[in-house]
Amino acid sequence: MSTEYTLQAVAREGVGKGASRSLRRTGHTPAVIYGGNEAPLAIAVSSKEITKRIYAGGFMTTIATIDVGGKQIRVLPRDYQLDKVKDFPIHVDFLRVTGSMKIAVDVPVVFHNAETCPGIKAGGTLNIVRHTVELMVPADHIPEHIDVDLNAFKMGDSIHISHVKLPDDVKPVISDRDFTIATIAVPAGFDRSGGEA
């Protein structure tokens, strides 16, 4: 799990496009904290700080503590919008994290041992079907990534979610089928019996 961090924020009174534009001119990004059986809380966070967090990676899978006037609120980013031209954040949504709640999160997939994979060594290529997998996870234990070991896969093999060792408290959101994460694709024109056709 990525290291938690703290963001300073202020409660904001004005909402709407005009108020949001005014906030952005002062170096702040409008945001909202929702969930946890409490009313939504409109806040403003430092644009510089939130931009740094978004582009550092792992933003959507890392718990943060937001300090709003001395009140500490644990949250998980759930969505953000970027300016279409300048790529700076124009709004962020945070979900309150409470107790042992479970949430659905897209977790990146990391592939290991491509250099020793029999299928790749024989001329196949790794065809990634899913770069992320949506998992139901405890909010306090979100994996940074899931690992796929390619060491045993041959050319033409499919790598399914059942091939991945997940922590006991983590389950795929898609539970009705053994979905494919990647394949070791056979190159066009390749004759498996002896090389190029």
* CB neighbours of residue 119 within 10 Å: 21
Length of the chain: 197
Whole-angstrom Cα distance, residue 108 to residue 2?
Answer: 13
Q: Which helix (H) or strand (E) holds 171?
A: strand 171-172
Residue whose pair of structure tokens reads 């806040």 in the numeric block: 43
Side chain identity at residue 76, one-letter code: L
Whole-angstrom Cα distance, residue 165 to residue 162?
Answer: 8
Superfamily of domain 5-96: Ribosomal Protein L25; Chain P (2.40.240.10)
Whole-angstrom Cα distance, residue 144 to residue 68?
Answer: 27
**What value does the CA radius of gyration of the chain take, rounded to a whole number of Å?**
22
Q: What is the pLDDT of residue 179?
A: 97
Angstrom CA distances, 120 to 21, 61, 125, 126, 147, stand at: 52, 31, 6, 7, 18
Question: What is the assigned CATH class of domain 102-196?
Answer: mainly beta
Partnered with residue 33 across adjacent β-strands are 41, 94
Partnered with residue 182 across adjacent β-strands are 128, 159
Q: Which helix (H) or strand (E) holds 9?
A: strand 5-11
- With 0.85 as the threshold, say if the pTM is over it: no
Side-chain-side CA neighbours of residue 193 (13 Å):
1
The residues spanned by each domain of the chain are 5-96, 102-196
pLDDT digit string (tens) for the chain, length 197 residues:
557 899 999 988 766 666 667 777 788 899 999 988 889 999 999 999 999 999 988 898 889 999 998 999 999 999 999 988 888 899 999 999 986 789 999 999 999 999 999 999 999 999 999 999 999 998 888 888 999 999 999 999 999 999 999 988 899 999 999 999 999 999 877 665 554 44
Give the three-class secondary structure for 151: coil
